């Protein structure tokens, strides 16, 4: 019997095999979870690149796969209607969704366009609200929602720019949702991982330098791994964490606690 034997859930946001959501999903599957997945709608139905990429990873154990644009209410309604039809009730939702237009992400926050700000917030933050609103209608008692964030939502991380503003809003949203859904026995948490090579991180400036900083400054003198983040995400969604809600849990080898570099810190050229 695994920790998730008999439990069912929805996973939003696996982009490829480097995604943090994929690392968590692998651990959920190993513990017996029954899952369905969504992907970005493909622009060309004749060449379903997004769907193929996801199917390559989960085809052996998915319950169903559907396209979903989180800015489209009809897409969201269709996913949760299918989940109700297939599962009856769900036990968890994994939210791994973030986006900012490249021209707005690359520039300073003060120069972000109005439309870019609205779209970034809608996809990176409001999407969690819209998922939670629908999930609570079919969530089994003791169910939970997990979102993914980063330290740039708490402190200024050069290069993270508007996404840091979005993550700050996301982390506040996690707390408000945890408060509102708690009386229904539902938990809502966020996982804040150290820098890992993902599709999203490739858009962040000076990413390689960031990894060096973590390795030099963190109490453990190294950066975190995908597997460590995946295991922690799975644990946070399991019944072993049944008393944890409204939390932003850092998995970064302790980097977030440091106010100054350790005495022995040094960066390799």
Q: Hey, which residues are catalytic here?
A: 150, 160
CB 66 within 8 A of CB 36: yes
> Which segments within the chain are labelled E, that is strand?
8-12, 34-39, 62-67, 90-95, 139-149, 187-193, 248-251
Angle at 250 between CA 232 and CA 6, to 5 degrees: 25
Joined tokens for residue 93: 């939702």
> Where on the phi/psi map is residue 32: left (φ > 0), alpha (ψ -120 to 50), or beta?
left
Beta partners for residue 189, in sequence order: 146
CA-derived radius of gyration, the chain: 18
Q: How many CA atoms lie within 13 Å of 94's alpha carbon, on the beta-carbon side? A: 33
Query: Dihedrals φ, ψ of 267, to 5°?
Result: -110, 135
CB 148 within 8 A of CB 158: no
Cα dist from 226 to 24, 112, 237, 257, 267, whole Å: 9, 31, 17, 20, 22
């Amino acid at each position: 019997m695994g920790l998730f034997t008999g439990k069912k859930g929805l996973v939003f946001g696996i982009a490829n095999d480097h995604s943090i959501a994929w690392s968590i999903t692998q651990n959920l599957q190993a513990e017996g979870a029954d899952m369905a997945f969504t992907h970005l709608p493909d622009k060309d139905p004749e060449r379903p690149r997004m769907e193929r990429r996801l199917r390559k990873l989960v085809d052996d154990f998915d319950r169903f796969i559907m396209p979903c644009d989180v800015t489209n209410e009809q897409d969201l309604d269709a996913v949760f209607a299918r989940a109700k039809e297939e599962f009856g009730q769900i036990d968890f939702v994994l939210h791994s969704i973030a986006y900012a237009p490249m021209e707005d992400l690359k520039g300073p926050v003060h120069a972000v366009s109005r439309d870019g700000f609205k779209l970034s917030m809608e996809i990176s933050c409001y999407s969690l609200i819209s998922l939670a609103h629908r999930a609570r209608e079919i969530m089994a008692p003791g169910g939970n929602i997990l979102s993914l964030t980063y330290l740039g939502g708490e402190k200024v991380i050069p290069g993270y720019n508007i996404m840091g503003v979005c993550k700050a809003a996301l982390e506040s949203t996690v707390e408000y949702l945890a408060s509102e859904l708690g009386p229904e026995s539902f938990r809502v948490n966020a996982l804040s991982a150290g820098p890992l090579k993902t599709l999203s991180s490739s858009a962040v400036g000076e990413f390689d330098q960031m990894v060096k900083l973590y390795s030099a400054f963190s109490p453990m003198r190294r950066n975190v791994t995908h597997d460590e983040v995946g295991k922690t995400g799975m644990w946070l969604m399991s019944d072993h964490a049944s008393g944890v809600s409204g939390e932003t849990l850092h998995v970064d080898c302790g980097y977030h606690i440091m106010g100054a570099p350790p005495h022995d810190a040094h960066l390799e050229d």
